[in-house]
Structure 1
Amino acid sequence: MALAVVHFLWKIPSATSLRARLRRSLQLCNRCYPVHASLSYEAIKQQYRPEVPEYFNFARDVLDRWTEVEKEGKKSKNPALWWVDGAGEEVRWSFEELGVLSRKVANVLSDACGLQREDRVILILPRIPEWWLVNVACMRTGTVLIPGTQQLTAKDILHRLQKSKAKCIITDDSVAPAVDSIGAQCQSLKFKLLVSEGHREGWLNFKDLLKNAPSDHHCVTTKCQDPMAIYFTSGTTGSPKMTEHSHSSYGIGLTVSGRYWLDLTSSDIFWNTSDTGWAKSAWSSIFSPWIQGACVFVHKMPHFDPSIVFESLSRFPITVFCSPPTAYRMFVQHKLSSYTFKNLRHCVSAGEPINPDVMEEWKAQTGLDIHEGYGQTETVLICGNFKGMKIKPGSMGKPSPGYDVKIIDENSNILPPGKEGDIAIRVKPTRSLFLFTCYADDPEKTEATIRGDFYVTGDRGIMDEEGYFWFVGRADDVINSAGYRIGPFEVESALVEHPAVVESAVVSSPDPIRGEVVKAFVVLTSDYASHDPEKMMKELQDHVKKVTAPYKYPRKMEFVQQLPKTISGKIRRNELRQKEWRKD
């Protein structure tokens, strides 16, 4: 049964009233949301009527409600979280156990660290159960969570700590040395929590504190528009921006993803392979599945390995699966006839466009369609191929019922079908509560996203006569490589720190597996111009990996005498990018 979140969002009532309303919502849910119903797109738009109350907290208003459902025996026996490490270790937590443990972590944050609501907490952990506990605990305490990937370098972490003014960082012993190397430069950083065995000077041991923390905790009262999380996202110029989301934008806005795109119910076991540092992990490893009461399946998988994916889909009763197009491109290069995914019934993909031929090959080998979805760090699902819809391979599907999506021109005029323009979401006269609230501490960049009555995504697209949207490309120079958004400025800045580089320009270049990769055009100093090109490229690639997150390094490089520039001296990245893509 799918818990109808839109029907139980209310101001904080008594416990008796909560149980009564929960029962009514479940009864309504059984009538209105039949299991795995293939609704038409128009029916989805009619059915989706979210109610946004003044107060909302996902931990209290969703997760704790599912605990009540478990106690009443009205939910499947599936756990809330099912984690495996591939070596025989497993963790299975019910919603009740998740609640108890997350309250203990909330007490660690409040008591041991003295954190107050809206204090910022940076979390850098791999796919381990503690990552989920900290996410929920931050909701309970009203602290603002800032996730990060473990690929961040000391320089990246320094930027995030200084820009966010975070008071606490939570990580493990693989990242702790980098934090210590820059910690003295972060005046706001007061507490460091280590999620590892043993102890480290200057750090609090997370597991020791958790063991001794009380399990009673009163969830703070948060308004829908109070800040809940911040995600750093790359831009065309400058350092990554802080994209702030409220308690309602993900906690309520992702209802449409869980129910209609992922097609989840409380009987499902859902696996999303996203890295914990990205917003997609919040989308599909926390909010969308738990809104529906589904089980979140997690494989530790330190490094992506198709064989581990195939074995897990065969061994575990996973029913719904989400992975980026890059992964599916790897999957279809293998013969899957030796594997049987007997429980798998629904597959989705997001993060970048997926090739029609990959969709065709996946279906030929598994019998399953891939339902593509489109969204951004700043949004929830913008467009999707919803369950029951006709799939047009290569299309992002139709607009989410939570948004009014249009294709507009440079003057904010709505374009007719077949005309290319900017993909935009209407925000006037009323801004959707399911958009990011702002780029934190940067009102100018926030305002720059608005054109006329619309929030402009920065992506170009076309809508066809049937209302399907088709992705054309980025309107700016941000590179989307295997789902990783990489700003050219960050890579160029890393390159010019090397004494061999006079200047550089970074653009996207086509790649059969990753879709596109980072390519750098580099002008060398006279002292290095005669060096062996292959050795020089390797040296510069290694340099970038050390200066910034390794996934940003240029996989391709071309040494040139000069870069194309405008009259005012700005590098014409667009000219270089067009040159690259004409080669394909």
Structure 2
Amino acid sequence: MKTLAKSRLFKFCWILRGPHQPFHGHPRFLSSPIFAQYEAVSQGKQPIPEYFNFANDVLDKWSQLEKDGKRPSNPALWWINGRGGEVRWSFEELGVLSRKVANVLSDRCGLRKGDRILAILPRIPEWWLVTVACIRTGITVMPGTTQLTAKDIQYRLRMSKAKCIITTDVLAPVVDSVTADNHDLKTKLVVTSGGQREGWLGFNELLKEAPADFTNVQTKVQDPMIIYFTSGTTGSPKMTELSQGSMGLRPIINPRYWLDFSPLDIMWCTADTGWVLSCLGALFDPWVLGSCVFVHNLPQVESTTILNTLSRFPITAMLGAPTLFRMLVQNDLSSYKFMSLKHCVSAGEALNPEVMEQWKSKTGLDIHEAYGQTETGMICGVRKGMKIKPGSMGKACAPYDVQIVDEEANILPPGKEGEIAIKVKPERPVGLFSRYIDNPDKTAATIRGDFHITGDRGVMDKEGYFWFVGRNDDIINSSGYRIGPFEVESALLEHPAVAEAAAISSPDPLRGEVVKAFVVLSSGFASRDKDKLIHELQEHVKKVTAPYKYPRKMEFVQQLPKTISGKIKRNELRNKEWGRV
């Protein structure tokens, strides 16, 4: 590695590269010694280790393998900003820089193991450094999206009693507006493009001065690592605690449990840094496998940028929300050629089968679905080599025993609809969240009999494939027929007039409730006669799916309410429809 004084990476000075070529390596790199170390654990011959630290036991191991010539020369992190700015870090460089950040957090910010830091950063390299540094120090990091409002930030700081916050100079004024009376917050770190801000410590300057030597803190498997604020159907967001084991150890003792990559792969996960999918798909799981994590700053997620990036860079795998793929298939893809892309994964919510078919016809690539939650990580997935059943989210991911259960936690037979659940007795599997902090009742409510209840409804077929039906409170019961909104939305999306759709229940004097669809029209259809278009869409749904599922009511809207992570907020639409707000 270059000396730090000369390293372009240390100063975060962006560099320009020539044409990008795929990386090459030797087949011996496909078998990782990291997995061998835990082979006895994965086979059940040894218990889960008491101590584990992802930075020490994974990232530093890959750094040593690089030095020994046992890993190809792929970067560990490859970041671009779309304007010519670029950073490439090896695992060794990542190690040096994250140790420096660990010293900043420990020495300059006075943080210790168990303290909490709120990290509100966009897709910039500092987010990865701060996250890894927190793991090294035993500090609990709380990622937050840059879309958080002042009220959101105030709530998170107050509930978590965070001692430190790190953000950019864009959000610093927002933080200042709500922290005057916060006595728990001791330090504010700001990542700036230059200059100082009163009351804040400059992250860039402190990093430059910090020593590169740091001894990792010992952490136990059950020690907290990350906290996410997760929105429920009611109430304020809950603090969901994830441990060192649930995030970092699970993919090691269950090799390739949803991703099947090697150090030769370059993985691009487009998720926002405030979403758990970013940690899973752009940090822990690719780095366990020694793969390169590719990042685009993506100040705005739009089709042209995504497609140009896939065409220009040797990205072998892409992970995104269904919204991403729905957006991409609306483009003429014939002018784009993805030279290296081989594997596409959709996660975050169920993907419509028609989108999968369009993507396949336009690119020749399959989309592999994965299903999970903040509390669980990945629950199901369609792994490489598995048969793809359009509309199915695949089979259970190890080590989870996933079942469909009824209201008494009895396991239901294949083909019977019920709640998606994970068996937690007699032994709670590695991967599940630890608790909802300061909310024991909510934590206990997730357990029913021997199972953790996800709150999602689904069906399992005879081959063990799971099919998503909807959230418990999203199910529409019309004249005794239980209708999943996803089925209605999928049918509507097959019509060219529909760009987005949300189906909810609506009160009806005869049937109790009926299906109502809120529809965002595709460009070119806004001027159509609305009554005729409603009739056309209703007839279309009757033909695509069971006739009783068609939306008896329909409303055209400019946009749908969504969560920060892009999921449609059906509960908000439903509450308005039923006059609950």
Q: How does 1:348-359 map to 2 (within 5 A)?
A: 348-359=345-356
2:155 to 138, 154, 159: 159
**Deviation (angstroms), 1:203:** 0.4
**Deviation (angstroms), 1:476:** 3.0
Q: Number of aligned pairs?
A: 482
TM-score (norm. length: structure 2):
0.78
Q: How does 1:6-405 map to 2 (within 5 A)?
A: 6-9=35-38, 52-196=48-192, 197-255=194-252, 259-405=256-402
Q: Which residue of 2 aligns with 1:36?
A: none
Q: Is the alpha carbon distance of 1:334 and 1:171 closer, same or farther for their aligned partners in structure 2, counting shifts above 3 Å? A: same
Aligned-partner residue type, residue 303 of structure 1? Q
User: Are the equivalent residues in 2 in contact too, given 1:154–1:178 (CA < 8 A)?
Assistant: yes
Q: Is the alpha carbon distance of 1:388 and 1:192 closer, same or farther for their aligned partners in structure 2, counting shifts above 3 Å? A: same
Task: String of CA shifts for 1:428-478, please: whole Å, max 9, x gaps.
Answer: 111112100001121111001000110000000001111110000001359
User: Are the equivalent residues in 2 in contact too, given 1:165–1:188 (CA < 8 A)?
Assistant: yes
Q: Is the alpha carbon distance of 1:51 and 1:303 closer, same or farther for their aligned partners in structure 2, counting shifts above 3 Å? A: farther
1:428 to 425, 445, 450: 425
Aligned-partner residue type, residue 112 of structure 1? R
Aligned-partner residue type, residue 192 of structure 1? K
Q: Which residue of 2 aligns with 1:532?
A: none
Structure 1: gaps spanning 5 or more residues? 10-24, 29-45, 479-507, 522-540, 566-570, 574-584
Q: Is the alpha carbon distance of 1:263 and 1:553 closer, same or farther for their aligned partners in structure 2, counting shifts above 3 Å? A: closer
TM-score (norm. length: structure 1):
0.77
Equivalent residue of 1:243, what SS?
Answer: strand
Identity, in percent, stands at 59
User: Are the equivalent residues in 2 in contact too, given 1:6–1:252 (CA < 8 A)?
Assistant: no
Q: Distance in 1 between matches of 2:126 and 2:272?
A: 14
Q: Greater relative contact order: 1 or 2 (C-alpha under 8 angstroms, separation 6 or more)?
A: 1
**Deviation (angstroms), 1:309:** 1.0
Which has the higher mean CA deviation after the structures are superposed, 249-258 or 180-189? Answer: 249-258
Equivalent residue of 1:406, what SS?
Answer: strand
User: Are the equivalent residues in 1 in contact too, given 2:325–2:355 (CA < 8 A)?
Assistant: yes
Q: Distance in 1 between matches of 2:245 and 2:318?
A: 25
User: Are the equivalent residues in 1 in contact too, given 2:35–2:255 (CA < 8 A)?
Assistant: no
1:409 to 402, 406, 409: 406
**Deviation (angstroms), 1:236:** 1.7
Aligned-partner residue type, residue 150 of structure 1? T
Aligned-partner residue type, residue 445 of structure 2? A
Q: Distance in 1 between matches of 2:567 and 2:221?
A: 35
Q: Is the alpha carbon distance of 1:559 and 1:156 closer, same or farther for their aligned partners in structure 2, counting shifts above 3 Å? A: closer
Equivalent residue of 2:332, what SS?
Answer: coil
Q: Distance in 2 between matches of 1:308 and 1:295?
A: 20
Q: Distance in 2 between matches of 1:152 and 1:379?
A: 24
Q: Distance in 2 between matches of 1:113 and 1:154?
A: 23
Aligned-partner residue type, residue 138 of structure 1? C
**Deviation (angstroms), 1:403:** 0.2
Q: Distance in 2 between matches of 1:63 and 1:420?
A: 42
Q: CA RMSD in A?
A: 3.1
Q: Distance in 2 between matches of 1:102 and 1:292?
A: 19
Q: Distance in 2 between matches of 1:121 and 1:519?
A: 40
Equivalent residue of 2:469, what SS?
Answer: strand
Q: Is the alpha carbon distance of 1:325 and 1:47 closer, same or farther for their aligned partners in structure 2, counting shifts above 3 Å? A: farther
Q: How does 1:495-534 map to 2 (within 5 A)?
A: 512-513=498-499, 516=502
Q: Distance in 1 between matches of 2:139 and 2:86?
A: 29
Q: Distance in 2 between matches of 1:549 and 1:407?
A: 29
**Deviation (angstroms), 1:345:** 0.9
Task: String of CA shifts for 1:178-205, please: whole Å, max 9, x gaps.
Answer: 1100102322100000011211110000
Q: Distance in 2 between matches of 1:407 and 1:271?
A: 32
Q: Distance in 1 between matches of 2:61 and 2:214?
A: 16
Equivalent residue of 1:229, what SS?
Answer: strand
**Deviation (angstroms), 1:557:** 9.3
Q: Which residue of 1 aligns with 2:32?
A: 3
Equivalent residue of 1:327, what SS?
Answer: helix
Q: Is the alpha carbon distance of 1:363 and 1:559 closer, same or farther for their aligned partners in structure 2, counting shifts above 3 Å? A: closer
Q: Is the alpha carbon distance of 1:517 and 1:323 closer, same or farther for their aligned partners in structure 2, counting shifts above 3 Å? A: farther
